[in-house]
Amino acid sequence: MTAPSNNVLIVAHKFLTQPDDDLILFLNRKKYGNVAHITHSFSDAPDRISKCVWYRDGELYKSWRSRDYRNCPEIFVYVKELTFTVISIFRSKIRWDMSVCMDGLCTFYAMIGRLFKRIGKVVYWAVDFVPESRFNSKIKNFVYHSINILGYKKADEMWDLSPRMLEAREKFLGIKLEDYKKHKVVPYGVWVDRIKKYSYEECEKNTLVFMGHLLEKQGVQLVLRAIPEVIKKVPDFKFKIIGGGSYWGELAKLVKELKVEKYCDFKGKIENDVELEDGIAKSCVAIAPYIKSLDTWTYYADPGKVKKYLGCGVPVLLTNVPWNASNIEKARCGLIINEDNFVKDIILLMSKDVNIEFRQNCIKFAKSFDYNVIFSNLET
């Protein structure tokens, strides 16, 4: 990423938006010569389609996709992904100066392209790190870690979302800094100027928002169980849940059991980032109640939802799992909460004077991780 004439290929597995989408946006704004985005649907997505979208000088040039492999054995899906990636690389008929890959498997696919000299530099941008059991299967875990280790050591550059990833690989895998060809910390960010901010007076008062993939580890159920206590102090409380996922059914059952339907608003997955950000920014308080005992990767990563909350100017409640939780609390942008009891924290952050102060602090704090700053630094 040293000149706008570069040809950059990004390869990722997708369910929700990730920082690869923001990198695509940045490159197209800079009018890089050719930018291609190859995406493969995650296993819990509604389809198993692979897509390639190719931009030239910042404009859409071509696109193509595979058929849906949703009903095929899993091994067939990964063979399809490899085949689709390699064919797409050759189909472009150009040499890609750089490929940025969002996981070990995508890095492996790009290294095949590098082997055939159709890709120059391969970058592995790790968005998570799972130290031990990523899957229930020992065979899957072995393959997963083997492919990741190959990527860590053989990628031309290693980008991590947080400094904890580097420390964790040395602790669990024995991989030291000198084992990487080149290492950088490239965190999640936000487009600060794109997001419309709302003052306390303009926001949806007494509305708590959660945004993300609905899994048990995300802790949404903890908020639902707290609602009967919250409404004793805040009768017009509203809990806005943005996102979808495999745990949605359990959450819906719990809402009925607790009889808190009138206080919950399940928005589902919002595809458009601007619409998503506006839905968050209008909220009074945001929450990220990660359950530490169930969470095997957030501790080492840089959760995007927290950055999104702060970028929207919304104070955040979060458990002490993300690496920057204490920094957020020190900057008075949010509060670290206890999984077992955070009702008082919700009520405190929704109070007028506290909310006004914290909203202002969030806007200032978010400037440090504006994507324009993060990506421009990579060009130097």
Position 131 scores a pLDDT of: 78
Position 330 scores a pLDDT of: 97
Task: Say yes or no: 152 and 226 in one domain.
Answer: no
Q: Number of folded domains in the chain? A: 2
How many Cα atoms are found within 13 Å in the side-chain-facing hemisphere of 333? 23
Residue 164 pLDDT grade (very low, low, confident, very high; cuts 50, 70, 90): very high
Q: What is the pLDDT of residues 47-57, one digit of tens each?
A: 899 999 999 99
Evaluate whether residue 378 is within a structural domain. no
Domain endpoint, select from 127, 162, 186? 186
Position 140 scores a pLDDT of: 83
Task: Say yes or no: 280 and 178 in one domain.
Answer: no
pTM of the full predicted structure?
0.84
Task: Say yes or no: 119 and 199 in one domain.
Answer: no
Domain endpoint, select from 186, 216, 232? 186
Largest distance between two CA atoms of the chain: 65
Position 1 scores a pLDDT of: 60
Whether 142 contacts 277, CB under 8 Å: no
Residue 17 pLDDT grade (very low, low, confident, very high; cuts 50, 70, 90): confident
Evaluate whether residue 46 is within a structural domain. yes
Range of the domain at 315: 192-368
Task: Say yes or no: 232 and 334 in one domain.
Answer: yes
Better-scored residue on pLDDT, 19 or 134: 19
Task: Say yes or no: 98 and 58 in one domain.
Answer: yes
Q: What is the pLDDT of residues 60-72, one digit of tens each?
A: 999 999 999 999 9
The closest of 84, 110, 107, 80 to 97, measured between CA atoms, is: 110
Evaluate whether residue 170 is within a structural domain. yes
Task: Say yes or no: 154 and 290 in one domain.
Answer: no
Q: What is the pLDDT of residues 174-230, one digit of tens each?
A: 999 999 999 999 999 999 999 999 999 999 999 999 999 899 999 999 999 999 999
Q: Hey, what are 203's tokens?
A: 């926001």
Which residues are bridge partners to 286 per DSSP? 209, 316
Q: Hey, what are 263's tokens?
A: 């206080």
Q: Which helix (H) or strand (E) element contains residue 267?
A: strand 264-268
Buried b (16+ CB within 10 A) or exposed e, 281-307: bbbbbbbbbbbeeebbbbbbbbbbbbb
Question: Which long-range contacts (C-beta less than 8 Å, at least 24 apart) are formed by 75-79?
Answer: 77/43, 77/48, 78/105
The closest of 271, 295, 267 to 210, measured between CA atoms, is: 267
Task: Say yes or no: 280 and 243 in one domain.
Answer: yes
Task: Say yes or no: 136 and 283 in one domain.
Answer: no
Evaluate whether residue 377 is within a structural domain. no
Secondary-structure percent of the chain, ordered helix, strand, coil, rounded to 5: 45, 20, 35
The share of the chain scoring above pLDDT 70, in percent, equals 98
Domain endpoint, select from 186, 212, 237? 186
Task: Say yes or no: 91 and 153 in one domain.
Answer: yes
Distance of CA 187 to the CA centre of its chain: 10
H-state helical runs in the chain: 19-29, 74-91, 104-115, 138-154, 163-173, 220-233, 248-258, 273-281, 304-311, 325-330, 343-350, 352-366, 371-378
Taking residues 136-149, what's their average pLDDT?
88
Better-scored residue on pLDDT, 138 or 93: 93
Strand 238-242 relative to strand 316-318: parallel, antiparallel, unpaired?
unpaired
What region, left, alpha or beta, does residue 21 occupy, with left being phi > 0 and alpha being psi -120 to 50 degrees?
Answer: alpha
Task: Say yes or no: 249 and 326 in one domain.
Answer: yes
Task: Say yes or no: 69 and 91 in one domain.
Answer: yes
Per DSSP, 192 falls in state G
Give the CATH number for residue 11. Answer: 3.40.50.2000
Taking residues 102-122, what's their average pLDDT?
97
Least confident of 12-21, 157-166, 195-204, 323-332: 12-21
Task: Say yes or no: 212 and 263 in one domain.
Answer: yes
Q: Hey, what are 147's tokens?
A: 């492919």
Whether 103 contacts 12, CB under 8 Å: yes
Can you tell me the distance from the alpha carbon of 159 to that of 124, in angstroms, rounded to the nearest whole number?
Answer: 6
Position 65 scores a pLDDT of: 97
Position 380 scores a pLDDT of: 60
Helices H / strands E in the chain, number of each = 13, 14
Evaluate whether residue 380 is within a structural domain. no
Evaluate whether residue 1 is within a structural domain. no
Burial of 253 (0-12, 13-18, 19+ CB in 10 A): exposed
